[in-house]
């Protein structure tokens, strides 16, 4: 989940532990002042009566790590992002202090927080079918007579490959989040939990020196066979049972992950454990402006925008907003072709447009309140005195989307003095990201892209946009290696830029469809003209037909010759 998506939050659900009255009062006042809905439930209670899946919801826990874990149990199955506020004592998971609550929430509401994807673990055994975020422990059962043998014997398999016998206190299967608990105490490794989706098997005080911690993927199926009685605990006892000899336990990564919201008011992971465990091995002070910083390749976003110019900063925001908007589009795209929704397919497409548009325009408006916004799907702000204008198409290729076709995209552009200067096109189904700044280059997923250098039609692949009477197809199909139609003008321009096509044709264009693609194609070396060969001029809004002919440059003369020879504007 992208942090920019949090900017559309309109509902809060708080899980509240006892002795959290002060932070709850602060949260209530803050939500009231901003017109946000707030529902509260006690630890252990279900949120089914207050949760509305149609609303953008943020989960908040007020308490210690125990309350946080209850929040994970409640929020993760519903894919609700969760912010933990520490009103307890020694907390590793809930890391926002009560005095920072309002500032942290403001950061969330402006889409400036990060969202960590945390791996969960799923376990089945006789009498247990549970999911946890920390660990699964299989241990010896204390004997009635304290002098009797206190040993568990376990056979362990990974995808039917025998790992070995664990004899001793038992073993733990930990997620990276849980690696600082039982794993650390048993001299196992500490795993960095942010977007780390592994599982680790850690022996607990075994009598066999050959047993070592093992790391596996979340898709690995671990089978544990008991060779006597054993105690099974999930997340410290939130699920618990006593197993008999030859019982089988199956452990694997859970299908759904927990989404943990992190702000600049949180301690970093290693800072937190250094301070709270008293390791004193490093300076635990991290400057706030560095807390969410991470290096990125050219053309991709970073969360720290200070010191960059407006266009570079706009590229960062556009990238984050487009990726955040891609999440609900992917979710809704998967529903389009299901039998249950065929009757209301248009409602899903409308909802997809609405959600993506809201995420992007909210992110842009938060970061650039003085800029104008022109979006296909929402209120259009002309902003006569604005120095910059954003042109947005939250869903280019609506027809494809409505039929379950993956060729749709998100287009975000920045206009300065009437010319597109920054463009981002994101393809949710393939996770491809095309970016460019005019005069600085174009990138796909951070790697530079350029157009092809072919100059012969018979060696070239062409893409056609809207071709009402098929004249482009009929006139060029036999002259080239093929003419394709994808159904997304933004994608057409990006594929020209990246060399997947040598030329494209659009019978008529809309500004929101092509604004970002124009920047990307031109920055990659493309030549863009009208059908007469005159340079293509970007016009924000017009009812006139405006044809676009784009190529790698070297192919353009041959294209224009064939256009003049046989491609004419069809009669109305």
The confidence score (pLDDT) of residue 150 equals: 72
Is a pLDDT exceeding 50 seen at residue 561?
Answer: yes
Q: What is the pLDDT of residues 225-284, one digit of tens each?
A: 999 999 999 998 889 999 999 999 999 999 999 999 999 998 778 877 777 777 755 554
Q: What is the pLDDT of residue 268?
A: 79
Q: Where are the domains of the chain?
A: 1-112, 121-253, 307-448, 457-567
* Better pLDDT: 399 or 14: 14
Question: In whole angstroms, what separates CA 289 from the centre of its chain?
Answer: 22
pLDDT, residue 456, reads 86
Report the pLDDT value the prediction gives residue 291, as an integer from 0 to 100: 45
128 vs 376, which has greater pLDDT?
Answer: 128
Distance CA 315, CA 318 (A): 5
Domain range 457-567, its CATH number among 1.20.140.10, 3.40.190.80, 3.40.50.300, 1.10.10.10: 3.40.190.80
Percent of the chain residues topping a pLDDT of 70:
88
pLDDT at 72 over 80: yes
State the average pLDDT over residues 209-217: 83
Mean pLDDT of the 487-507 span = 93
Whole-angstrom distance, CA of residue 73 vs CA of residue 371:
41
What CATH architecture does domain 307-448 belong to?
A: 2-Layer Sandwich (3.30)
Distance in angstroms (rounded) separating the CA atoms of residues 86 and 93: 8
Residue 405's pLDDT is 92
Instruction: Detail the DSSP E strand segments found in 257-387.
Output: 258-262, 372-375
Options 1.10.8.590, 3.20.20.70, 2.40.420.20, 2.60.200.30; which CATH number does 121-253 get?
A: 2.60.200.30
More confident position, 393 or 382: 393
Mean pLDDT of the 315-321 span: 95
Mean pLDDT of all residues belonging to the chain: 86
**What amino acid positions are annotated as catalytic residues?**
65
- Higher pLDDT among residues 564 and 217, named by residue: 217
Average pLDDT over residues 437-455: 95
Number of continuous H segments (helices) and E segments (strands) in the chain: 12, 29
Q: What is the per-residue pLDDT for 98?
A: 94
Residue-wise pLDDT tens digits, 79-92: 999 999 999 776 77
Query: pLDDT tens-digit profile of 194-207?
Result: 889 999 999 987 66
Cβ neighbourhood burial of 269 (10 Å; 0-12, 13-18, 19+): buried
Whether 567 has a pLDDT exceeding 70, the answer reads: no
pTM: 0.80
Q: How confident is the model at residue 304 (pLDDT cuts 50, 70, 90)?
A: very low
Residue 396 pLDDT > 60: yes
Confidence at residue 300, expressed as pLDDT on a 0 to 100 scale: 41
pLDDT of residue 285: 52
Residue 552: phi and psi, rounded to 5, are -75, -5
Place of tokens 């609900």: 328
Given a cut of 80, is residue 338 above it in pLDDT?
no
Q: What is the pLDDT of residue 147?
A: 65
Residue 307 has pLDDT above 70, yes or no: no
Q: What are the E-state strand segments in 87-182?
A: 114-118, 121-125, 128-132, 135-139, 152-158, 161-174
Q: How far apart are CA 241 and CA 359, in angstroms?
A: 45
DSSP state of 491: H
Residue 483 clears pLDDT 90, i.e. is over it: no
Q: Give the per-residue pLDDT at 295.
A: 33
Instruction: Check residues 484 and 77 and name the one with the higher pLDDT.
Output: 77
Token code pair at residue 48: 């089914």
Domain 1-112 annotated CATH 3.40.605.10: no
Q: Tell me: pLDDT of 312 over 90.
A: yes
Q: Tokens in use for 104?
A: 């942290």
Of residues 407 and 386, which shows the higher confidence score?
407
Give me the residues paired with residue 566 across strands: none
pLDDT over 60 at 308, yes or no: no
CA angle 373, 389, 510 (to 5 degrees): 80
């Amino acid at each position: 989940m992208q942090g920019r998506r949090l900017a559309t939050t309109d509902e809060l659900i708080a899980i509240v532990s006892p002795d959290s009255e002060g932070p709850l009062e602060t949260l209530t006042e803050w939500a009231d002042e901003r017109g946000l809905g707030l529902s509260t439930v006690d630890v252990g209670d279900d949120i089914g009566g207050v949760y509305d899946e149609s609303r953008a919801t943020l989960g908040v826990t007020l308490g210690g790590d125990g309350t946080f874990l209850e929040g994970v149990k409640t929020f993760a199955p519903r894919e609700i992002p969760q912010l933990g506020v520490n009103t307890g004592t020694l907390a590793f998971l809930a890391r926002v202090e009560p005095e920072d609550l309002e500032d942290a929430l403001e950061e969330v509401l402006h889409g400036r927080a990060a969202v960590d994807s945390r791996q969960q673990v799923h376990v089945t055994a006789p009498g247990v079918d549970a999911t946890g975020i920390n660990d699964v422990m299989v241990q010896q059962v204390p004997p009635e007579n304290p002098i009797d043998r206190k040993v568990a014997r376990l056979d362990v398999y990974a995808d039917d490959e025998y790992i070995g016998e664990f004899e001793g206190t038992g073993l733990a299967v930990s997620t990276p989040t849980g690696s600082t608990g039982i794993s650390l105490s048993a001299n196992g490794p500490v795993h960095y939990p942010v977007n780390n989706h592994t599982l680790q098997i850690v022996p607990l005080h075994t009598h066999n020196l050959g047993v070592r911690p093992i790391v596996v993927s979340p898709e690995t199926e671990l089978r544990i066979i008991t060779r006597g009685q054993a105690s099974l605990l999930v997340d410290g006892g939130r699920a618990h049972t006593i197993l008999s000899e030859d019982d089988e336990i199956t452990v694997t990564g859970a299908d759904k992950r927990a989404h943990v919201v992190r702000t600049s008011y949180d301690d970093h992971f290693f800072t937190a454990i250094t301070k709270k465990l008293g390791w004193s091995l490093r300076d635990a002070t991290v400057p706030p402006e560095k807390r969410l910083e991470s290096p990125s390749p050219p053309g991709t976003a970073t969360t720290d925008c200070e010191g960059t110019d407006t266009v570079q900063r706009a590229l960062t925001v556009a990238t984050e907003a487009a990726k955040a908007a891609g999440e609900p589009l992917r979710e809704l795209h998967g529903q389009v072709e299901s039998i249950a929704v065929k009757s209301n397919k248009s409602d899903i497409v409308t909802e997809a447009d609405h959600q993506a548009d809201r995420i992007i325009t909210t992110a842009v408006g938060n970061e650039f309140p003085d800029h104008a916004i022109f979006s296909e799907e929402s209120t259009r702000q002309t902003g006569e005195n604005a120095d910059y204008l954003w042109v947005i198409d939250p869903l280019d290729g609506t027809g494809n989307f409505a039929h379950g076709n993956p060729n749709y995209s998100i287009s975000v552009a920045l206009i300065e003095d009437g010319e597109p200067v920054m463009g981002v096109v994101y393809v949710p189904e393939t996770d491809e990201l095309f970016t460019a700044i005019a005069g600085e280059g174009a990138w796909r997923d951070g790697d530079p892209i350029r157009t092809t250098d072919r100059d012969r039609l018979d060696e070239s692949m062409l893409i056609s946009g809207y071709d009402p009477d098929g004249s482009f197809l009929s006139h060029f199909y036999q002259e080239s290696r093929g003419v394709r139609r994808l159904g997304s003008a933004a994608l057409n321009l990006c594929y020209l830029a990246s060399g997947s096509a040598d030329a494209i044709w659009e019978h008529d264009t809309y500004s929101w469809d092509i604004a970002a693609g124009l920047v990307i194609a031109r920055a990659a070396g493309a030549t863009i003209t009208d059908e007469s060969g005159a340079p293509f001029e970007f016009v924000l809004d017009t009812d006139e037909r405006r044809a676009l002919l784009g190529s790698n440059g070297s192919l353009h003369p041959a294209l224009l010759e064939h256009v003049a020879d046989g491609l004419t504007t069809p009669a109305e």
